[in-house]
Chains A and B, each alone.
Chain A
């Protein structure tokens, strides 16, 4: 295994010292984790995905996912915010690196530690992120862009938003571009409430966006490409990373209960230790799944001649399968952890509580619905031969 980036250890520290301390309050009040974000900014963690040539840490996908896993052990919602931010920065770094505008924007992001959110959902597209109704309207070198989004994770707390939309008012729904809109140039009107089961700190109600900007803020190329080569791979790997972090914290709480029991009856292996052995095995599979996919992704990304490989259906299938497998493993692992921790894990006010972990991880199969992904995989398997 290559050397760990020092940023990953700093995330562990933030998870332990800041994120985990505020997580219960963030969860209870469904509020944005401002304390964790301040700590991330102080560590310049928000520019971890910015290439070194523009002043960032230049971390690859595997290290970024390890960051999310580390932070996820302290607070799942904080880690989801970090993951979603990395996804947006990844899109800019990988698709805007030849644009003078985005080069400057990345330097600014390093300096000011801007937080980036996204708006890919839309009223009327029924969760299909690869189609848009709204379109970017260009006049001269300026554009206006208005969108009615069903979900806008932490949009109310961001410094900029990447918005999917049709390329022109005449374009078909699937001919999309990605547009960066900046805080000073948009207004948001909240259109729904936010009181979900878990991931409450992401503060993701619906919003109506009204924005304008310079045409340079449109990411070059098509969203079809940035989605396949960056948005989907980053989303699925980083989410899997943070889900494994949440699951790992639940398992660690369960194992603390087992250890306490073992210390009372030295010489006897507590029956719950067998369950711990089982769940530990599932956690390892979950971790190795995203680690391996991320390592191969980084290897391909490092070689400009191989980038096209990421657009093969084989890779689309792998990212789909990673997402479905890890989103299903997460809640299963916490469920097992709960059986081990027993009532100590069931009580919300116990130090061994896994309630928040469980609720947070129930979102995993729903954000980009596993049913939709499985249908896509089923269709891909009609032509992919695995040869």
Chain B
């Protein structure tokens, strides 16, 4: 499994555990809007905390936007950027 695939899987696991989604996180398309699957701003905070813990990163304030948490793809792009910077 490539590191990209691992990241994708970890993000899905975190979403399944903390995102309180209406559908199983494993079945959601990478570009699908997470809000349409029931991701609330409150759940987003928990997802973010879990991502920070899991990847050993910290989201700077300017990245704490809904845009970053739109889809699995946008989350992964942000995580990658922060992992690379760290």
Residues of chain A having any CB pair with chain B under 8 Å:
130-131, 167, 171-175, 222, 224-225, 228, 308-309, 311-314, 316, 376, 379-380, 382-387
Contacts and interface: CB of A to CB of B under 8 A. Distances in A.
Contact of A383 (B37, B38, B39, B52): B52
B61 A313 contact: yes
B37, B61, B62, B67 interface centre (most CB from chain A within 10 Å): B61
Nearest to A228: B66
B86 interface: no
Given A172-B38, A383-B45, A312 B65 contact: yes
Given A171-B36, A174-B40, A382 B45 contact: yes
A313 B44 CA distance: 11
A314 B66 contact: no
Nearest to B47: A383
A130 B49 contact: no
B41 interface: yes
B61 A225 contact: no
Grouping DSSP codes into helix (H, G, I), strand (E, B) and loop, the B interface class, with mixed when no group exceeds half, is helix
Nearest to A131: B40
B61 A175 contact: no
Given A311-B67, A380-B45, A383-B45, A174 B61 contact: no
Given A130-B40, A314-B61, A174 B66 contact: no
Nearest to A130: B40
Nearest to A385: B61
Interface string B36-71: 111111100100110010000011111011110000
A116 to B, nearest CB: 25
Nearest to B23: A172
A198 to B, nearest CB: 30
Nearest to B22: A172
A173, A175, A386 interface centre (most CB from chain B within 10 Å): A175
Closest 10 CB pairs of A and B: A172-B38, A313-B64, A172-B22, A311-B65, A311-B66, A379-B45, A174-B40, A314-B61, A312-B65, A175-B36
A21 B22 CA distance: 53
Contacts of B58: 385
Contacts of A224: 35, 41, 66
B42 A222 contact: no
A339 to B, nearest CB: 40
B23 to A, nearest CB: 9
A175 B52 contact: no
A379 B49 CA distance: 10
A384 B61 contact: yes
A313 B42 CA distance: 11
A176 to B, nearest CB: 9
Contact of B49 (A172, A173, A382): A382
B41 A316 contact: yes
B65 A383 contact: no
Contacts of A228: 41, 66
Nearest to A379: B45
A86 to B, nearest CB: 24
Given A224-B35, A376-B42, A379-B45, A385 B60 contact: yes
A130 to B, nearest CB: 7
Nearest to A378: B45
Contacts of A225: 66
B77 to A, nearest CB: 15
Nearest to B43: A174
Nearest to B52: A383
Nearest to B45: A379
19 contacts: A130-B41, A174-B38, A174-B39, A175-B35, A175-B36, A224-B66, A225-B66, A228-B41, A311-B65, A311-B67, A312-B62, A312-B64, A313-B45, A313-B65, A314-B61, A383-B48, A384-B64, A385-B58, A387-B61
Contacts of B36: 167, 171-172, 175
Contacts of A131: 40
A383 B66 contact: no
